[in-house]
């Protein structure tokens, strides 16, 4: 079943068309990729889905409800169902790791503090960090650890949909690979739909259940990695950094 449906979305900034009548669906429980070159409108789509940016033309449905026509209560509920790790999302430098994870729980729930602390510690471990990291400050963490804390903060509120905008940007290849594995594990452990925007395709293309590629205001491709490989299309092979070995085997 689809959890999010984008129907005939058109977005223009001044005279520049960013999305020209695009439609796609995201199924419940999948890891869905929104791919495309810089400036192709990936972040803008996410901002429109999470209602941070106005939908100019077309519709976005969440569980079959048009998100532009929600009551105040319904849009509040929607905000609780969505969680995101923004492209340039940062931790609060004046809060330690545990306090950073607790921020969302304090903001979005009325739980007593001892329970909030327990949930924060559980999520800290879920993203592969240890209790001994809880009282460190962001300046004492590596890039990969910071991303993990931001991820723990995003999942602590138990969203239905998690949006990750360039989650591995700034990480070295091996930390990026570990982070992608973590995303896959989280999907298995939690009942989550994950929408990920990424440039970093070497490893994650195999993790995505399905993806779209935005190009020149349109969807240039929709499907999974196997479908892309089967197409024998040079644009897809270049874009997805598909390599062929000497026997013609692609990966």
Backbone angles phi, psi at 102, to 5 degrees: -75, -20
Q: Which is nearer to ligand ATP, 36 or 167 (CB)?
A: 36
Pick from 43, 96, 123, 193 the residue near Mg ion by CB under 5 A.
43
CB of 104 to ligand ATP, least distance (A): 23
Q: Tell whether residue 92 is a contact of ligand ATP (CB under 6 A).
A: no
| Nearest to 51, CA basis, from 87, 79, 19 | 79
Distance CA 54, CA 57 (A): 9
Using CB under 5 A, which of the segments 28-36, 37-45, 125-133, 153-161 binds Mg ion?
Answer: 37-45
Number of other residues whose CB lies within 10 A of the CB of residue 93? 9
Q: Where are the alpha helices (H) located in the chain, listed in sequence order?
A: 42-49, 72-81, 97-108, 113-126, 143-155, 173-189, 201-204, 225-230, 234-239
| Nearest to 25, CA basis, from 225, 198, 223 | 223
Pick from 3, 4, 6, 18 the residue near ligand ATP by CB under 6 A.
18
CB of 109 to ligand ATP, least distance (A): 30
Quick one: what does residue 159 bind among ligand ATP, Mg ion, none, with the CB cut-off 5 to 8 Å set by partner type? none
Binding mask 26-55 for ligand ATP (x = CB under 6 A): ----------x-xxxxxxx-----------
Number of other residues whose CB lies within 10 A of the CB of residue 144? 18
Using CB under 6 A as the criterion, which residues of the chain lie in contact with ligand ATP when the complex forms?
A: 13, 18, 36, 38-44, 87
Using CB under 5 A as the criterion, which residues of the chain lie in contact with Mg ion when the complex forms?
A: 43
């Amino acid at each position: 079943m689809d959890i999010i449906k984008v129907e005939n979305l058109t977005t223009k900034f001044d005279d520049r068309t960013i999305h020209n009548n695009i439609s796609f669906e995201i199924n419940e429980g999948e890891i869905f990729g929104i791919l495309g070159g810089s400036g192709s409108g990936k972040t803008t789509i996410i901002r429109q889905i999470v209602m941070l940016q106005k939908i100019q033309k077309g519709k976005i449905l969440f569980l079959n409800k048009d998100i532009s026509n929600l009551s105040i209560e319904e849009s509040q509920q929607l905000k609780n169902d969505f969680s995101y790790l923004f492209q340039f999302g940062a931790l609060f430098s004046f809060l330690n790791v545990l306090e950073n994870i607790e921020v969302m729980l304090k903001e979005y729930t009325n739980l007593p503090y001892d329970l909030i602390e327990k949930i924060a510690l559980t999520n800290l471990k879920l993203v592969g960090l240890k209790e001994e990291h809880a009282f460190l400050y962001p300046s004492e963490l590596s890039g990969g650890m910071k991303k993990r804390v931001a991820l723990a903060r995003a999942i602590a509120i138990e969203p239905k949909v998690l949006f990750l905008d360039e989650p591995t940007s700034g990480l070295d290849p091996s930390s990026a690979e570990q982070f992608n594995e973590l995303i896959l594990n989280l999907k298995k452990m939690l009942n989550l739909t994950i929408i990920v925007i990424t440039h970093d395709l070497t490893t994650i293309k195999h993790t995505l259940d399905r993806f779209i590629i935005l190009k020149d205001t349109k969807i240039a491709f929709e499907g999974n990695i196997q479908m892309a490989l089967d197409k024998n299309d040079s644009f897809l092979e270049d874009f997805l950094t598909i390599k062929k070995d000497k026997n013609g085997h692609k990966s």
